[in-house]
Structure 1
Amino acid sequence: MPKTNRRKFVLASLTVLALPRRGSTAEQPGLRFGLVTDAHYADYETLGNRHYRESLTKMRECVESMNQQGAQFLVDLGDFNDGARKPAEEDALRYLSEIEAQFARFAGPRYHVLGNHNMDALSKTQVLGQIKNTGIDPELSYFSFDRGGRRFLVLDACFRSDGAPYDRGDFHWTDANIPAQELQWIQEQLEDSPHPVIVFIHQLLDGSGNIFVENAAEVRKVLEDSGKVLAVFQGHHHSGSYRELEGIHYYTLRAMVEGSGPENSSYALVDVQPDRIVVKGYRRAVDQTISSQQP
């Protein structure tokens, strides 16, 4: 796989990620799924550019679009709800229930990644009890599923550096970690998978600093050493980004909550093809577009 500085980046309406040959990718059929992140839904007044209440309408449009486009499943990349203003528990649960009701209008399997704001005012147990991850034990905050000849890993970096899970705001958002037990589970999932792998996570893995997982380099090494990981899809960083490291593509989707009106929503349709991944952005997501070509 050529290094990033040998790639040509051009504006386009799609993001095309050229894939190395990993596992049996070339023998697999195409696969299509939807992505959304950082809805931050709550019954709050607008703060800065975050229009919390509007995410309910934006999510409805996203789900309707994914149903129309034939997405085979839909993934929320975290910060689905928001409790940063410390609402009463009953209100925090109501916000989560209301946005989940819109997400549940999707006609196929649906999955959630936990983000830091999910646990501003609630415990992980409460959050997991209010949402649905299709076919997954409701007690699990990280899990895997196989579909269309690929394995998908849903990760949870909402743990403090002392190993404690995020709980009702008892954490700092910059202290995000993949604990040893989860890292071992990731390695086992990669070793056992007969398929190429795609990863979903909220906090970023492709660097270091406040918005990244504290032990991101350690996690990346496990992903890289497997030789099976095609791409990592992330949220958390509201402006979005894209980076390729050691043959793995890291795509960060723009946040749904930023900006007023449907034109300022953000969600994506991902087509996984035998030799490439194509991410089609909707609304503001189309503004962050890249074409990746091998020399």
Structure 2
Amino acid sequence: MASTNGLSNARATHPLFSFGVITDVQYADIPDGHSFLGVPRYYRHSIQVLRRAVNHWNNIKKLKFSMNFGDIVDGFCPRDNSLAAVQKVLDEFHNFNGPVYHMIGNHCLYNLPHSDLTALFKIPSLHGEAYYEFSPSPEYRFVSLDAYDISVLGRPRDDPRAAVALRFLEDKNPNIDKNSPVGLAGLEKRFLMFNGAVGKEQLLWLDNVLKESTEQGQKVIVGCHLPLNPNSATAASLLWNYEEVMEVIHRYKCVKVCFAGHDHKGGYSVDSHGVHHRVLEAALECPPGSDAFGYVDVYHDRLSLVGADRMVSTEMIFES
């Protein structure tokens, strides 16, 4: 999975900054179980993975911030315990010696409304939405997308975005169970209820941010709970309108890397425009004693993901 460009060793050895990464903790105080495909899931152990991640990040003493790519609690979490479970995981993140930036995932929305999560996660949006951007250094900007902007999950039934999402699913997925991909072919398998889309206002916002970043000579790192490239993830895990999002991204040359979660096994690819796509391995699927977290060293010409255990280390060297 890692790039093996031999020149990397001769390049700058001190990063501009570094940040921690973890995804899909999906904690719940319930016995271990399995995914629909039979993959083991360790609901109680996952918070221990997070605890070790935070300790590791703090011991490095050089991380500027950390990123959680979504799904901090699991959909099987008992509903009367949802808020307490979310708060328990957030308390672990609060032990990190620096800012923590969160993204909303589908399992978060099985437990609590979208608006509640935006507040609980203290998402730094100027417009009350769950997408945002920040500049950790003059040379770089981080853009965090809301993959559930258009979604039937976590929205009131009278919310126009929920209505749009419901009509979309009715049109795209003929199954009564909208989480079933039966009869869907190829990339159509992404049209499932547990996925979502980036709305028109967010797309316009993204375009404006990337235009401004280009004018300022900034490189951009994009984060999204749902993957944006079919070569880095299974079809069933993709953002509904990933093509629209990538069309905006490809208008500019500033975006260098797109990180995502959701597809628990992880993945990596470089698209036709040289954008790196790294889907991170899930904390939830770590057997007791194993881990999946990491940190990213950011350089002028590359990003270097240093993974722990099941999170694969990846060198992402920019084409230009």
Which category of TM-score, normalised to the shorter sequence, fits these structures? 0.7 to 0.9
99-108 or 187-196, which deviates more:
187-196
Residues 138 and 110 (structure 1), Cα distance of their counterparts in 2 relative to 1, 3 Å cut: farther
Equivalent position of 2:76 in the other structure:
85
Q: Distance in 2 between the 1:74 and 1:53 partners?
A: 22
| Residue 141 (str. 1) matches residue 130 (str. 2) | yes
State the shift of 1:253 in Å: 0.6
Residues 95 and 176 (structure 1), Cα distance of their counterparts in 2 relative to 1, 3 Å cut: same
Instruction: Tell me which amino acid in the other structure corresponds to 1:184.
Output: L
Equivalent position of 2:239 in the other structure:
213
Residues 137 and 17 (structure 1), Cα distance of their counterparts in 2 relative to 1, 3 Å cut: farther
Q: Distance in 2 between the 1:140 and 1:42 partners?
A: 26
Unaligned runs of 5+ in 2: 6-11, 35-39, 153-159, 166-177, 180-191
Where do residues 255-266 of structure 1 align in structure 2 (5 Å cutoff)? 255-263=282-290, 265-266=291-292
Q: Distance in 1 between the 2:103 and 2:69 partners?
A: 5
**What secondary structure does 1:183 align onto?**
helix
Equivalent position of 1:47 in the other structure:
33
Equivalent position of 1:200 in the other structure:
223
Where do residues 21-100 of structure 1 align in structure 2 (5 Å cutoff)? 30-48=16-34, 49-69=40-60, 70-82=62-74, 84-85=75-76, 87-88=78-79, 90-100=80-90
State the shift of 1:261 in Å: 1.3
Instruction: Tell me which amino acid in the other structure corresponds to 1:259.
Output: C
1:25-81 Cα offsets, whole Å, 9 max, x none, are: x9x971211100000011121112111111221111101111112211000001111
Where do residues 92-171 of structure 1 align in structure 2 (5 Å cutoff)? 92-133=82-123, 136=125, 139-149=128-138, 150-158=140-148, 159-160=150-151, 163-164=161-162
8 Å CA contact 1:33, 1:73 repeated in 2: yes
Q: Distance in 1 between the 2:318 and 2:137 partners?
A: 25
Q: Distance in 2 between the 1:254 and 1:145 partners?
A: 24
8 Å CA contact 2:302, 2:318 repeated in 1: no
8 Å CA contact 2:132, 2:143 repeated in 1: yes
1:178-209 Cα offsets, whole Å, 9 max, x none, are: 11111111001111122111000011100283
8 Å CA contact 1:16, 1:278 repeated in 2: no
Equivalent position of 1:180 in the other structure:
200
State the shift of 1:132 in Å: 3.2
Moved over 6 A (4+): 290-294
Residues 293 and 163 (structure 1), Cα distance of their counterparts in 2 relative to 1, 3 Å cut: closer
Unaligned runs of 5+ in 1: 1-8, 10-14, 19-25
Identity across the alignment (%): 28
Larger RCO: 1 or 2 (CA < 8 Å, sep 6+): 1
Q: Distance in 1 between the 2:69 and 2:254 partners?
A: 21
Equivalent position of 2:251 in the other structure:
225
The equivalent position to 2:307 in structure 1, one of 281, 286, 294, is: 281
Q: Aligned residue pairs: how many?
A: 266
Q: Distance in 1 between the 2:21 and 2:4 partners?
A: 16
8 Å CA contact 2:23, 2:281 repeated in 1: yes
Instruction: Tell me which amino acid in the other structure corresponds to 1:148.
Output: S
Aligned-CA RMSD value: 2.8
Residues 257 and 237 (structure 1), Cα distance of their counterparts in 2 relative to 1, 3 Å cut: same
Residues 16 and 274 (structure 1), Cα distance of their counterparts in 2 relative to 1, 3 Å cut: farther
TM-score (norm 1): 0.82
Residues 292 and 30 (structure 1), Cα distance of their counterparts in 2 relative to 1, 3 Å cut: closer
Residues 104 and 117 (structure 1), Cα distance of their counterparts in 2 relative to 1, 3 Å cut: same
TM-score (norm 2): 0.76
